[in-house]
Amino acid sequence: MAAKIFIDGEAGTTGLGIRERLKGVGGIALISLGAAERKEDAARLQAMRAADLVVLCLPDDAARQAVAMVESLGEAGPRLLDASTAHRVSRGWSYGFPEIGAGQLAEIAQSRRVSNPGCYATGAVALIRPLIDAGMLNPESDVTINAVSGYSGGGKVMIAAHEAKGGPAFELYSLALTHKHVPEIMRHGGLERRPLFVPSVGHFRQGMLVSIPLFLDRLPGQPSAYEITEAYQERFNKSLRIRAYPGIFAGDLDPEGLNDTDRMEIFVCAGQSDQAVLIARLDNLGKGASGAAVQNIALMLGLPDPLASKLELASA
């Protein structure tokens, strides 16, 4: 019997991306509401009652309300995957980043409440967590994170501004240093000191680069850039979605290089000095949002990995 999925907020960017990626995935049936019904709590609750898994693609407050609706159904209620920021550091919720640590994939598969990672956080956590686990980065270190994203991750107002004629070519934002991904980066990256996070948006629809500069001689054990590369290789070399560049990278990086994929690439850049720059490249709508959600949906429902299926078809 097919597993029933209800996407609450299916008309938004992430919801539409999930629907598109679920096309052709076997073993599922989507429950969909009409435009008017999507605003009616009674219709939404009925869809939740019928579903095995509810995916929340809503603003934070609306996501919290939706969770309360599901909880009103008791033990018979569906499992939840929340793509908002609302529950990424909440007790009782599993973090939907399967590759980030031993046991995380199994935890997601068994969990009834999974929070999908944020786009910036996906890149930052992938860069930070393996180094902390390897003892190469102190959790109390001063960490600076710089990132640029396509405007599609900024919501309706930002999308409208960039798609209007004369939209800004580049802009820094969240300069009060209170970006909502910071608590998530700290918790799941393993940091104890708040990082300095400077996000920015470029005048391109999608794509992302997240970078972290390091002074290697100030790190525990003073690791070389090659040793940092090896730590990423060890963590991600079996992943279908994350590839760590094998060696020191010295080329140019286009933030749009992984657009329309669900993959991420990790690079370590270094010269002759004791400095290095760590870089993650991903599609903010792919591994940074909808692609990660579909990966988690498959895990939670016990379905084959959709990306593995695509790779098998491509090689046939």
- Catalytic residues, by residue number, are 119
**Torsion region of 103: left, alpha or beta (phi above 0 gives left; psi -120 to 50 gives alpha):** left
Exposed (0-12), middle (13-18) or buried (19+): which is 82, by Cβ within 10 Å? buried
Q: Is beta strand 53-56 parallel, antiparallel or unpaired with respect to 3-8?
A: parallel
Give residues with Cβ within 8 angstroms of 22, minimum separation 6.
5, 28, 30, 294, 297
**Which amino acid would we find at residue 306?**
P
- What's the token pair of residue 62? 């609306």
Characterize 67-76 residue by residue with b for buried, 16 or more Cβ atoms within 10 angstroms of its Cβ, and e for exposed. Answer: bebbeeeeee
- Which strand (E) or helix (H) includes residue 223? none
